[in-house]
Amino acid sequence: MKRLIQHGLMFGNLVHISSPALIERYNRALQHLSGKTTALTDFHVDISGYSPEVGDELGDPLYLNPNGVNRQFILLTTEQKRAPLLNVKFSTSRDILRQFIEDNESQLFALTATDAVAGELVNSVFKVTSPRRLFDLKKVEVEADTVGGTLKTATQLGNMVDRFKTEEDAWFDDVLIADMIGAAKQTGDVTRNPVHLSQTLFEQGAFWTAHYGGLYLFPDLEHPAVIASGEKPDEDLPIKYVFDLSQRNRIAKFFDYNDLVEPIVKARGVDAAQILQQKMDFITIDTAANAGIDLSKLDRSDMRRLVRRHVEQLPDEYHALAQVQSWARSGGRWPRISSDHPAYFYTLRAADTEHRDLVNMLLAELCPLDVRQLFICHKELFYRTYAGWPEAKKAYVADFLAREYQVDKEGAREALFGHEPDMQGEVSAPTEDLIARVGPWGAVRRP
């Protein structure tokens, strides 16, 4: 994994914490949440305040996520909204945290100026004792306050101010006045600068969870289903259809019935032939790496030579995609690829629905040889599979992602999947001169 870290492809965009004041605040919050502290003098944190260095020091990668359900968080700065979420257990957690920070940014900025904000993503389930319990995760509420209890005190002060204004003889209540003065020293003037967090309740519809080998839950569709990455749960679930990844025909029908996918060649505003070519290149690289071929400094002519040399070893996915690409470039007879063909899901991308990200995540798992989509849409699976690749493939993929994807993430994602929000949550246009040079799909170097 060292190669990925050096290229900024793993643990990238984490927030560096080295100030003694911030470390002291972090320890107060960590003690408050878990009863633990760190002796490190500098470390990095993700959007939730989780630090891989602290996790390693404590020997507990889930020190802010006990039981993998109600994720706790520590906010030292609102800049954490740009950071990734590590050790993901639910696909919705980062979006909820980022939305919470953005919706309350001015308040959180003021609060974190003097203290850490600690909290939890709370739902009705504290431990997933069975897959059935996952269907109880319908809403997530964000509970947060400074370690010193500023928000709680501000609420109490607001109530005391209301009493002071409305109750008869409150002007003569020395205890009430003393309590108001004491609370105001901590919170400031809440009548002029109210301290209150809004938008703390979030709906959780369809989502992915790492529990039970990985499950995709789509309970809110017209034709709902659960799709298991591993073995299907052996208990009855409150949903009619439960598939595993081997049931490709059933998954294809599920996509079709709910209008969740579209063929790449019919997507508007993309160069389908180039996207298919890149998928074919990744398949070629996998075949060549398994054959022990040196993959350094490849250009387009080198890639063609690899195809000619290993044409008999290339899997069915390659040959079917080549037929689709030929149709996209020159027309002719449409190649019929059924849903049980290994290339079928490589020809699709998620349609523009509210479930687009989750569908692209599932498609990445169904198309593991498309390493770019795997990295973009399912990083947890990418890191697991990367560890088992030949060194030549590791080097090629790390270099490709650093060279062709990292330089223009938003442009590449838009070209592949449709409009994508950037790190600030806004849709940004692709950089035209960059696309002209390398192509939004990440073109292989030309000689």
Give yes or no for a contact between 36 and 63, defined as CB atoms under 8 angstroms apart.
yes
Sign of the dihedral through C-alpha 431, 436, 437, 438:
positive
| Gap between the Cα atoms of 431 and 434, Å rounded | 5
Burial tier of 53 (Cβ tally within 10 Å: 0-12, 13-18, 19+): middle
- Tell me which residues of the chain have a pLDDT lower than 50: 189-194, 419-447
Task: Write down the pLDDT at residue 437.
Answer: 35
Closest by alpha carbon to 422, among 88, 81, 86? 81
Give yes or no for a contact between 214 and 89, defined as CB atoms under 8 angstroms apart.
no
Burial tier of 346 (Cβ tally within 10 Å: 0-12, 13-18, 19+): buried
Alpha-carbon distances, residue 167 vs 154, 160, 161, 172, 409 (angstroms): 19, 10, 10, 11, 59
Task: Write down the pLDDT at residue 433.
Answer: 38
Task: Write down the pLDDT at residue 112.
Answer: 86
Tokens of 15: 């927030």
Task: Write down the pLDDT at residue 446.
Answer: 33
Give DSSP secondary structure letters for 153-172: HHHHHHHHHHHHHHSTTGGG
| Gap between the Cα atoms of 373 and 395, Å rounded | 17
Closest by alpha carbon to 29, among 117, 107, 97? 117
| Gap between the Cα atoms of 284 and 52, Å rounded | 35
**Strands 225-228 vs 242-244: parallel, antiparallel or unpaired:** parallel
**What DSSP designation does 445 have?**
P
Domain residue spans of the chain: 2-123, 205-258, 261-438
> CA 297 from chain center: how many Å?
31
Tokens of 196: 């209150």
Alpha-carbon distances, residue 51 vs 4, 13, 63, 75 (angstroms): 18, 12, 9, 12
